[in-house]
Chains A and B, each alone.
Chain A
Amino acid sequence: MNETPTRAPLRPAAATRRIDPRAFALPLALLALWWLLTAGGWVDTRLIVPPGNVLRVAARTLGDPVFWQGVLFSVARDAGGFAAGALGGVALGSALGASRLAERLIGPSFHTLRQISLFAWLPLLSSWLGYGELSKLVFVALSTLYPVALGTFEGVRGVTLEHLDVARVYRFSRSQLLFRLILPAAAPQIATGLTLGLVYAWVATIGSEFLLANWGNGLGNIIIKGRAAFNVELIIVGMLAIGAIGTSLNRIAARVEARALRWQRPPT
């Protein structure tokens, strides 16, 4: 062979890259400022509580099974709503992207409804479905649906005619076309939509626990309890927990994405 057989390495999974230690500078500076302000007595420590108190409440909360039950409920709510919204979003986006008829029939309504802030759905949802689990799940699903449908739509639109020719030459059936060409080709944009959907779903999960509060279980309810008892420490612990869980979910998603899209050319 005259050609030198070469094989470029696969890119290292993005999620395994380490965090630059400089990223910790800002949070640490804020923490120091917080500590200084409260320790120096420059602020009303009933409103801006000292970090030490938060730590104490955090330790107590983490030892409380009710907290963990709340975490479990919130994550389950998030996962259930996300799964339903993601499936619906991929289906809707595929239909809009692949069928001109679907785009003409549904597209304008979809793009109009998208303009309505998600939280504006809540009064309607609670009137129809009450303040129970179903309302919350539908709300989370709806929040996931939009970004996933948009990502999928973009991805499906990006399928090239050259690849469609290949599918015709090898006589792909309708389902082969969908599962062996359209969805894999759209996968990078679908992944972007799913990542965004995951963020929205978590925001919506906590939001629904706030706004459809029925003193049920969930991280949002813990914060509400904190506010009702004027327990600022508990509010902050709840917020930190929400942030930590959201970040963990996104890191897991980034790993899954890197694994699923390892066929992509590494960014140059």
Chain B
Amino acid sequence: MAQAGTLDIRNLSKQYRVQGEPLPVLDAISLSIEPGEFVSIVGSSGCGKSTLLRLIIGLEGDYKGEILLDGQHVVGTSLDRGIVFQEHRLFPWLTVEQNIAVGVLNAPGSDAAKKRAVQEHIALVGLKGFETAYPHQLSGGMSQRVAIARALVNRPEVLLLDEPFGALDALTRGHLQQELERIWRTEGITAILVTHDVEEAVVLGDRVIVMQPRPGRIKRIVDVPLARSRDRGAAAFMAIKDDVLSEFGGVPPLEAINPSIVLQRDISDWHFSR
């Protein structure tokens, strides 16, 4: 079982420069996440919740404040932190098992142990029998399962999820939320889920962090002291969901189709991790 990590975010601020003007995206975020905790972050478009995840995973730098995993400063990407993006981002030229194996490519351990880990994670996400399928042969939900397996196969301490089910239909979405809860419990991992779906945040989170935009700040932290698996129809569940929704004026937070900031990056801006 993976060792769960403690994540400490202290006074974190981040700004972009857009046409020479500073544009603050995150302002004084402080958050402490316990080992094995499941934290949901909800907010509408432009609240910087995806940027927060990109900073924690190490895909972006140049910030003020501190991000600490088990007391260590986060520098660049690391196999200690796994991520699932909104799009599955599988490599279309690799089969399911080859895609999952990308997760352990640079991990320590023997080839046999890696092979075993890949097989275990195929079973964990319920994709036995699809080992040799290519991504174009899979449905959206199945592709996202592969992406989850790829993120978990090297046993990271923290799993980051950036709207992982945002592009799926409601039925698949509800089902994968249950699956994610099961996987999180099996792996005993620390998880951070970014979403704009309040119900999803309350179903999965031990705590729900409500963020507000321009610049992105924490507005409120709501505890969800309900036993798992949670009944979405229960009065206590509805009360917490309504409470979180009230932070958005009773209207579900909106997600813009296009991100408000389009950064000019391409392959030439690649920098190597080693």
Could you tell me the distance in whole angstroms from the C-beta of B11 to the nearest C-beta in chain A?
Answer: 26
A99 touches B137 (CB 8 A): no
Q: Does A252 contact B (CB under 8 A)?
A: no
B59 touches A7 (CB 8 A): no
B59 touches A169 (CB 8 A): yes
A162-B87, A164-B270 given as contacts; is B103 within 8 A of A264 (CB)?
Answer: no
B139 touches A6 (CB 8 A): yes
B106 touches A170 (CB 8 A): yes
Could you tell me the distance in whole angstroms from the C-beta of A168 to the nearest C-beta in chain B?
Answer: 5
A172-B105, A176-B105 given as contacts; is B138 within 8 A of A161 (CB)?
Answer: no
A157-B267, A161-B266 given as contacts; is B175 within 8 A of A3 (CB)?
Answer: yes
B59 touches A161 (CB 8 A): no
Residues from chain A with a CB closer than 8 A to the CB of B172 are 2-3
- Minimum CB distance partner of B129 in chain A: A5
A165-B59, A172-B273 given as contacts; is B77 within 8 A of A7 (CB)?
Answer: no
Residues from chain A with a CB closer than 8 A to the CB of B272 are 173-174, 177
Residues from chain B with a CB closer than 8 A to the CB of A164 are 267, 270
Residues from chain B with a CB closer than 8 A to the CB of A182 are 267
Q: Does A263 contact B (CB under 8 A)?
A: yes
A159 touches B106 (CB 8 A): no
Could you tell me the distance in whole angstroms from the C-beta of A191 to the nearest C-beta in chain B?
Answer: 12
Mask, B75-103, CB within 8 Å of A = 1, is 01111001101010101111000000011
Mask, B175-207, CB within 8 Å of A = 1, is 100000000000000000000000000000000
Could you tell me the distance in whole angstroms from the C-beta of A95 to the nearest C-beta in chain B?
Answer: 11
Give complex CA distance A238, B254 in Å: 70
A171 touches B77 (CB 8 A): yes
Please indicate which of the listed interface residues A2, A177, A185 has the most CB atoms of chain B within 10 Å of its own CB: A2
Residues from chain B with a CB closer than 8 A to the CB of A97 are 267
Please indicate which of the listed interface residues B133, B268, B270 has the most CB atoms of chain A within 10 Å of its own CB: B270
Give complex CA distance A166, B126 in Å: 23
Q: How many residues of B contact A (CB 8 A)?
A: 42
B78 touches A156 (CB 8 A): no
Residues from chain B with a CB closer than 8 A to the CB of A184 are 91, 93-94
Which of under 10, 10 to 19, 20 to 34, or 35 or more describes the interface residues of A? 35 or more
Mask, A1-24, CB within 8 Å of B = 1, is 111011111100000000000000
Give the number of residue pairs across the A-B interface with Cβ within 8 Å: 107
- Minimum CB distance partner of B83 in chain A: A169
A5-B130, A168-B59 given as contacts; is B273 within 8 A of A264 (CB)?
Answer: no
A163 touches B91 (CB 8 A): yes
A8 touches B136 (CB 8 A): yes
A164-B270, A170-B106, A171-B273 given as contacts; is B175 within 8 A of A7 (CB)?
Answer: no
**Taking chain A's interface residues, is the majority helix, strand, or loop, or is none over half, making it mixed?**
helix
A98 touches B268 (CB 8 A): yes
Residues from chain A with a CB closer than 8 A to the CB of B136 are 8, 263-266
Residues from chain A with a CB closer than 8 A to the CB of B87 are 162
A contacts, CB < 8 Å to B:
1-3, 5-10, 97-100, 103, 156-157, 159, 161-166, 168-174, 176-177, 180-182, 184-185, 187, 263-266
Please indicate which of the listed interface residues B76, B141, B268 has the most CB atoms of chain A within 10 Å of its own CB: B268
Give complex CA distance A103, B102 in Å: 30
- Minimum CB distance partner of A161 in chain B: B265
Can you offer 6 A-B residue contacts whose CB atoms are under 8 A? A8-B137, A98-B267, A170-B77, A171-B106, A185-B91, A263-B136
Q: Does B274 contact A (CB under 8 A)?
A: yes
A5-B142, A171-B79 given as contacts; is B137 within 8 A of A185 (CB)?
Answer: no
With beta carbons under 8 angstroms apart, the residue of B76, B93, B126, B142 that contacts A263 is B93
B138 touches A7 (CB 8 A): yes
- Minimum CB distance partner of A181 in chain B: B91
Residues from chain B with a CB closer than 8 A to the CB of A174 are 272
Q: Does B4 contact A (CB under 8 A)?
A: no
Give complex CA distance A99, B271 in Å: 11
B134 touches A171 (CB 8 A): no
- Minimum CB distance partner of B154 in chain A: A170
4 tightest Cβ-Cβ pairs between the two chains A and B: A100-B268, A265-B136, A8-B137, A171-B273
Could you tell me the distance in whole angstroms from the C-beta of A74 to the nearest C-beta in chain B?
Answer: 34
Residues from chain B with a CB closer than 8 A to the CB of A98 are 267-268, 270
Residues from chain A with a CB closer than 8 A to the CB of B91 are 163, 166, 180-181, 184-185
Q: Does B57 contact A (CB under 8 A)?
A: yes
Residues from chain B with a CB closer than 8 A to the CB of A265 are 92, 136
- Minimum CB distance partner of A2 in chain B: B175
With beta carbons under 8 angstroms apart, the residue of A2, A100, A170, A266 that contacts B105 is A170
